[in-house]
Structure 1
Amino acid sequence: MAGRLKSIIVNLNGLLKHKHHENFKLSSDEVQTIRNNLKGISSDELGICNFKLNEELCSSTRADISYLKVCSNGQIFDLGVFALKKDCRMPMHNHHGMYGVVKVLFGSGRIQSFSPIRETQEHFSIDDIVDAEIVEDMSVSAKEGSNLMHLEPNSGNIHAITADKNSPLVFLDLLMPPYDHLNYTVSYFELVSTGECRKKCKLKVIPEPTDYRCDQLDYAAVIQDNPSFEN
């Protein structure tokens, strides 16, 4: 395992070891520490060959979105890489009760994030209307200054991510705690209206989009020829 990635995982384990999946909370200082740890991570330090990954994304048999699992620590965190093909949109979805950090590795795209104005329930029903604030609507790329963003349980917890028309978008994704797939259902949304100030909006809960599919990506397909990374 590359030294930088190993250091990040050790630091995450140390910082989060006393956290519990239920009532999981991080202080603003802890969030900033995690952001700082991920700030400089690159594809190289993950053992990923960008050229090989781009070739995988050009394959007609691969889904528009692929996921590569990097590391997991039970009910504390999941660390992985999402890869979106050119002009692909990850549907707007939520992360109830979670913290997350996104670090762009290569490519470019757009992130829209929203915060519910009122505390939201864990489970929504189709056609529910959620009053929200627009937190971010920004272009992102691997360039410093536009490559790192995070979400919290009450801030930016609903988001949509889109790759540019002429570029894939590949990003490291850290979720704390990870999804509890036995007891938690992801909700999907669409923007139905915005207020006059452009900061307030209404989101509608929709079924999971029928065209949404995410492939699992194998390290063997994208690993560097002489990596210092060991999966």
Structure 2
Amino acid sequence: MFFRYVAGMSTKLRRFIVTLNEILKPKLNESIALSGDELVAVKHDMKMLTCEDLGICESKLSDAMGDSSRTDISYLKVFENAPTFDLGVFALKKGCKMPIHNHLGMYGVVKVLFGSGRIQSYSQCDDMLPTIGKLLDVNLVDDRVVSVNDGSNIVHLEPHCGNIHSISSTEDSPLVFMDLLTPPYDHVTYTISYFDLISCDPHSSKCKLKVVPEPAEFTCGHLEYSVVAKNDLSE
């Protein structure tokens, strides 16, 4: 098990959660809208977090992610503070891709913790709600390789900019990333939409996406922390 929660939250993680509460709590009675300065502050503090701060045994990641009994994509809930934000960790095996999807009305921040991958994001050209079978005109706003080893290790999406996106690991490396969503899902009425890429103009950023049902082959395993005391870290 490479997720081991050390009893007592790390100082940096605790500070980050306090920062999020300070920024987001005053917005609870309105549509959450983050200013440019607030986004910078959130990304700065999130960028400082490491595998160790999140209770992840980095030395075991490569072997654990190669385990054939594991699902291709796994998710670990780190902290939930409804109705303000969710903080979790996704782990993708080598050569694995999340389907193109959206987080309608949400901000999302992704911080790479281990490995490398690719993130592509699109902005919808109109305000129509995605319905299955519909073709959407979108603009490709970001297409980059992200890696724990360089300055590309943190990216974000906004409610109306880059909100449709896909994330994939490379063929030679798994990808583990922290994922912040605000506001979080209400788990009652909210639904994610999924998309297929139909076409992209090679001379511009214009693309077409088709809204599709959730892909049948898409599965996400759920992980739990194995709680240990600070003086019991020999495993």
Could you tell me which of 207, 220, 223 is aligned with 1:217? 223
Separation (CA, whole Å) in 2 of partners of 1:176 and 1:223: 31
Any conservation in 1 of the 2:94–2:175 contact (CA below 8 Å)? Answer: yes
Separation (CA, whole Å) in 1 of partners of 2:229 and 2:205: 42
Instruction: Measure how far apart 1:119 and its partner are.
Output: 2.0
Separation (CA, whole Å) in 2 of partners of 1:117 and 1:12: 30
RMSD of the alignment, in Å?
A: 1.9
CA 1:22–1:52 in 2, change beyond 3 Å: closer, same or farther?
Answer: farther
Instruction: Measure how far apart 1:223 and its partner are.
Output: 10
The DSSP-based 3-state class of the residue aligned with 1:26 is coil
Instruction: Measure how far apart 1:222 and its partner are.
Output: 10
**Partner of 1:50 in structure 2?**
58
Could you tell me which of 5, 9, 14 is aligned with 1:6? 14
**Partner of 2:116 in structure 1?**
108
**Partner of 1:83 in structure 2?**
91
**Partner of 1:137 in structure 2?**
143
Instruction: Measure how far apart 1:46 and its partner are.
Output: 1.0
Alignment of 1:1-231 (within 5 A): 1-20=9-28, 23-121=31-129, 124-220=130-226
Q: What runs of 5+ residues in structure 1 fail to find an aligned partner? A: none
Cα deviation, 1:14-61, whole Å, max 9, x if unaligned, reads 111112276222112211111111112110111210233333322222
Which stretch shows the higher mean deviation, 84-93 or 191-200? 191-200
Q: What runs of 5+ residues in structure 2 fail to find an aligned partner? A: 1-8
The DSSP-based 3-state class of the residue aligned with 2:22 is helix
Query: TM-score with structure 2 length normalisation?
Result: 0.90
Q: Give the count of matched residue pairs.
A: 225
- AA aligned to 2:87 is L
Percent identity at matched positions? 52
Separation (CA, whole Å) in 2 of partners of 1:223 and 1:28: 39
Separation (CA, whole Å) in 1 of partners of 2:202 and 2:220: 36
Any conservation in 1 of the 2:24–2:32 contact (CA below 8 Å)? Answer: no
Separation (CA, whole Å) in 2 of partners of 1:140 and 1:190: 22
